[in-house]
Amino acid sequence: MKKLYVLILALALLVPCSLAYGGEKKRKDKKKTTQTDSIKKKVSKYDKLLKKPGCQTAKGNFITLHKLGGKVYFEFPLKYMTREMLIASTPAESSEPTVCPIGYKGRDPMHVKFVLEDSLVYLQRVTSSVTYDESDPNLTRAVKSSFKDVYIKKYPVLAYNPDSTAVVFDMTSLFMTNEPELSPIITQLGPLSVVSNMKSDLSSLGSIKAFDDNVTIESNLSFSYVLRYLFFSGGGGDVSARVVRTVLLLPEDKMKARVSDSRVGIFLTMKQHISTEEDKINFYSIANRWRLEPKDMNAWERGELVEPKKPIVYYIDNAFPQLWQAPIKEGVLRWNKAFEKIGFKNAVQVRDFPKDDPDFDPDNLKYSCIRYVPLSIENAMGPSWVDPTTGEIINASVIVYNDIIKLINNWRFVQTAHIDPSVRAKKMPDDIVKESIAYVIAHEVGHTLGLMHNMSASNAYPVDSLRSASFTQKYGTTPSIMDYARFNYVAQPGDTGVRLTPPDLGVYDEFAIKWLYSPISGNLTSAEEAKILEKWVDEKAGDPRFRYGKQQILSRYDPTAIEEDLGDDPIKAGEYGIKNLKYIFANLNDWIQNDETTLHRQELYGELASQYFRYLRNVMYNVGGIRMTAVKEGTPGKRFEALPKTLQKRSITWVLNQLRDCEWLDNQANAPQASLSLKMSSRVVSGMAETIFETLSNKVQVAAQLSDDPYTIQDYYDDLYTGIWKNTIDNKKLTANDRMLQRFAMLVLVKGATRIIEGKTPLFNAYAPSLDEIIDYRLDPSGITQRYYKELKEIEKEKGQAAIAERLEQNFDYGYKWQKKLEIESIDESEGCYITMLNKVKTLLENRIATANKVDKAHYQAILFKIKALNK
């Protein structure tokens, strides 16, 4: 019993101890579990995603970037959701700058915004082309429901940042895949399409940077590409590039838009306005311009020069040759003269690439740069990018290719060597190079300020004024540097003191800057400001110095608005120019020394022939020419005005006389020995003949409808007959060029008659420039038409004259639109003229063949055979 009691007591003592031990263990386990849960709660989704070894972070006041494991994450503040921004792509390095030029933004930036909906972030393309009366609530609802922003991408929210003010999402796909809108490969090279394919397996991310209102993400990308036009391939290859993508926050406080005026040549952004006050939707455009505002408006209103709140700043690439750098700065700063006249001081500034500024990146959309591309392209360009909502220019670039200096040096020689001994050299002296570079840069900077080409400017001055020292020293060769009016080819030897170059800035340029940038007092609306601006243009109406003539690329109607001309009379200017060419040609071998291979002289000889070709073309544009001017009702001028009958008649006669008398180009004593080729005169004649016989008749018939005293199609063919068959009519021996012109005439007449018999429509477009015109008037700045001339010429022969011109990239068709070709079948009377001329030629040759010399007789027999064959 005692033993049992002792055992029970012992068990009783053991149980509490065991229970105590178990309770303590459970308490410890519970405490451990709580601590573990607490630790787990502290590892947020944000930390789990980004707090890892190797994560690179770029933190700014806009977006914070994170790069980790080959991906890039946006930490995007909620306060910037729905804010408008631009995303742009710029090549910083390239293995093939022909199709991927560094510094060039080949596509307009994406105009977008991010929107957070539930757990997804959407990238939307902003619809900004519509304006409306926002005070009307019903109209506002209708417009917003009909013109929604477009959803283009979606990204899952991966985490919130620690204070929940921003969301994190993966943006890698936009920068590492083949996103067409951000591709660094251009899509068009002259008339050729650039078809590219990205090699995704070779893509990688580069550095990331974040700033106050933008971020940049680098991508290393590789592509294959091919150049194509229909079934023709111009070759291709592979290209690798380091590409900088900028995401730039647009201002929330938008710039006031300035409504355009078609009488001033400004780059435009198209809009449509919806209002209940009108019975239709109105389409209009706003001017592209920098946001230039006085720091002190009161001082500006008092007439004082004031600095802008934010100047226009250009940064110069440190890769430029040392000789070019000072004239580049000069060319940029020339524009301050125009800004000073409207009250701005130091509006345009220029700086070198900073060497010790970690924030500077020339490929960032924040910086406008003048870039050097060491490529054998004879060109420069000045594109800009805008906020599509207001037309505010956000960024601009000037791209300068190495061989632009070759072009301007060659043209300086063939246009001024007759009067300027300093350019009679294989290599231009430094002062001429500097002068030329400053001119090129000033022209391109003009584009980046918003000014389009004004091709009518050079037609404003009387030809003989260009031989006046006092006139040219004051006005240069043209009222606008935005024309293609190069150097003074009109001035004659002995015209001392004559200026040979365009003006630093012309009176038109200064007026365009005034119209575009002058502040207007009174806090007026855009519509109210437009009325004031309109009056400024009204005051200049009828003055040829302020006339705007848009560049004609797809169709060329207006002979007073073309490239590479000088003065108001192309016949007189051409005669002066041809005298100078003959003088230069006669001295070419003496002036160009140390050219044992003759390569440089061959090049100059070709440029000289091209210059002659342009003189003839400039005159030939008069035939069927229509002067076209944007005219407001009630102000001087006519919208469409056919050139006088006497001028058209004199022009075709002059051209034909030149073609019969251009053998001076073949002088073997002066012409450098080149590869085996046809005589230069025959190339000029054949190049002109196509236009004379195939296209001018259509233009003549259109122009005739606008005139009270028309130059008719019958008049035109009578003049052709008299001019082409002149020596035959006079019973004289024919020259080689006579026979060539007659053969071309018969070729076209027989083709025309055959089309009549077969009921076919001709392929040619009377108004589209030919391949030769495209090259000689530099309508294709890429130079690709010249590189593939032979192949493209065959396409032109097969597909018609417009085949090449219609595929050129239209860089300057923003708002005003090109004049399209007119279909004239309903008024075309050329068929009767073909038959009449064939009969006249048949009768003439039958009367002359018996007394003709042996060569001419064979020539006449061949023509008669072709005419008689038509009757079988």
Mean of pLDDT values over 488-499 = 95
Would residue 8 count as lying in a domain?
A: yes
553 closest CA partner among 822, 815, 803, 818: 818
Residue 431's SS3 state is helix
pLDDT tens-digit profile of 76-86? Answer: 999 999 999 99
CA dist., res. 82 & res. 61, Å (int)? 17
Return phi, psi of residue 201, to 5°. -70, -10
Mean of pLDDT values over 441-455 = 95
Cβ neighbour number for residue 146 with a 10 Å cutoff:
10
Residue 359's SS3 state is coil
Does residue 20 sit in the same domain as residue 147? no
**What's the CA angle centered on 772, arms 823 and 187, to 5 degrees?**
80
2 confidence band (pLDDT: 50, 70, 90): very low
pLDDT tens-digit profile of 635-693? Answer: 998 999 999 999 999 999 999 999 988 999 998 888 776 666 778 888 888 888 877 87
Cβ burial, residue 606 (10 Å; 0-12/13-18/19+): middle
Does residue 163 sit in the same domain as residue 222? yes
Does residue 71 sit in the same domain as residue 37? no
Instruction: Let me know: does 348 contact 441? Beta carbons within 8 Å.
Output: no
Would residue 326 count as lying in a domain?
A: no
Instruction: Let me know: does 140 contact 134? Beta carbons within 8 Å.
Output: yes
Residue 347 has what pLDDT?
A: 97
Kindly report the average pLDDT of the chain as a whole number.
88
Token couple for 534? 């309109």
DSSP code, position 392: E
Token couple for 43? 């590892």
Identity (one letter) of the amino acid at 347?
Answer: A
Of the listed ranges 110-119, 195-204, 299-308, 815-824, the one predicted with least confidence: 815-824
Residue 231's SS3 state is coil
Residue 531 has what pLDDT?
A: 95
Mean of pLDDT values over 817-844 = 82
Contacts of residue 556, defined as CB under 8 A and 6 or more positions apart, other chains included, come to: 562, 621, 767, 768, 769, 773
Does residue 79 sit in the same domain as residue 208? yes
CA dist., res. 334 & res. 348, Å (int)? 9
**What's the CA angle centered on 201, arms 195 and 204, to 5 degrees?**
100
CA dist., res. 238 & res. 96, Å (int)? 8
- Percent of the chain whose pLDDT exceeds 90: 63
Rg (CA), the chain: 35
Residue 716 pLDDT > 70: yes
Contacts of residue 17, defined as CB under 8 A and 6 or more positions apart, other chains included, come to: none
Return phi, psi of residue 188, to 5°. -140, 135
How many helices (H) and strands (E) in the chain?
26, 25
Would residue 591 count as lying in a domain?
A: no
Residue 669 has what pLDDT?
A: 80
Residue 805 pLDDT > 70: yes
State which of 209, 234, 250 marks the end of a domain. 250
Does residue 9 sit in the same domain as residue 98? no
CA dist., res. 689 & res. 695, Å (int)? 10
- Where do we find the tokens 């207007």? 520
The residue ranking higher by pLDDT, 833 or 23, is: 833
Would residue 668 count as lying in a domain?
A: no
The residue ranking higher by pLDDT, 806 or 114, is: 114
**Measuring CA to CA, how many Å separate 315 from each of 38, 354, 379?**
54, 9, 20
What length is written for the chain? Answer: 872
The residue ranking higher by pLDDT, 407 or 329, is: 329
- Where do we find the tokens 């009630």? 634
Strand partners, 628: 640
pLDDT tens-digit profile of 194-208? Answer: 999 999 899 999 999
Contacts of residue 228, defined as CB under 8 A and 6 or more positions apart, other chains included, come to: 192, 193, 195, 234
Residue 509's SS3 state is helix
Residue 835 has what pLDDT?
A: 86
Query: How, if at all, do strands 214-229 and 85-94 pair?
Result: unpaired
Residue 707 pLDDT > 90: yes
CA dist., res. 500 & res. 498, Å (int)? 6
Query: How, if at all, do strands 192-198 and 188-189 pair?
Result: antiparallel
The 3-class SS string of 67-100 reads EECCEEEEEEEHHHCCCCEEEEEEEEEECCCCCC
Does residue 137 sit in the same domain as residue 175? yes
Residue 758 pLDDT > 80: no
Of the listed ranges 218-227, 705-714, 770-779, the one predicted with least confidence: 770-779
CA dist., res. 248 & res. 385, Å (int)? 12
Would residue 24 count as lying in a domain?
A: yes
402 closest CA partner among 429, 379, 425, 382: 379
Cβ neighbour number for residue 231 with a 10 Å cutoff:
6
610 closest CA partner among 684, 685, 661: 684
Instruction: Let me know: does 198 contact 179? Beta carbons within 8 Å.
Output: no
241 confidence band (pLDDT: 50, 70, 90): very high
pLDDT tens-digit profile of 4-42? Answer: 444 434 444 444 433 344 444 445 555 555 554 544 557
Does residue 93 sit in the same domain as residue 235? yes
Would residue 543 count as lying in a domain?
A: no
Does residue 27 sit in the same domain as residue 145? no
Mean of pLDDT values over 243-255 = 94
Chain-centre distance for alpha carbon 69: 40
E strand segments, 541-671: 626-628, 640-642
Cβ burial, residue 545 (10 Å; 0-12/13-18/19+): middle
**Measuring CA to CA, how many Å separate 392 from each of 169, 288, 387?**
30, 6, 5
**What's the CA angle centered on 407, arms 227 and 336, to 5 degrees?**
105
753 confidence band (pLDDT: 50, 70, 90): confident
Residue 323 pLDDT > 90: yes
Instruction: Let me know: does 800 contact 765? Beta carbons within 8 Å.
Output: yes
Does residue 98 sit in the same domain as residue 195? yes
Would residue 153 count as lying in a domain?
A: yes
Residue 674 has what pLDDT?
A: 65
Q: Provide the number of structural domains found in the chain.
A: 2
Of the listed ranges 95-99, 142-146, 485-489, the one predicted with least confidence: 142-146
557 closest CA partner among 684, 679, 702: 702
Does residue 7 sit in the same domain as residue 110? no
CA dist., res. 745 & res. 764, Å (int)? 16
CA dist., res. 657 & res. 720, Å (int)? 11
Instruction: Let me know: does 152 contact 124? Beta carbons within 8 Å.
Output: yes
Token couple for 152? 């283009």
Does residue 123 sit in the same domain as residue 142? yes
Does residue 35 sit in the same domain as residue 59? no
Would residue 363 count as lying in a domain?
A: no
What domain range includes position 111? 49-250
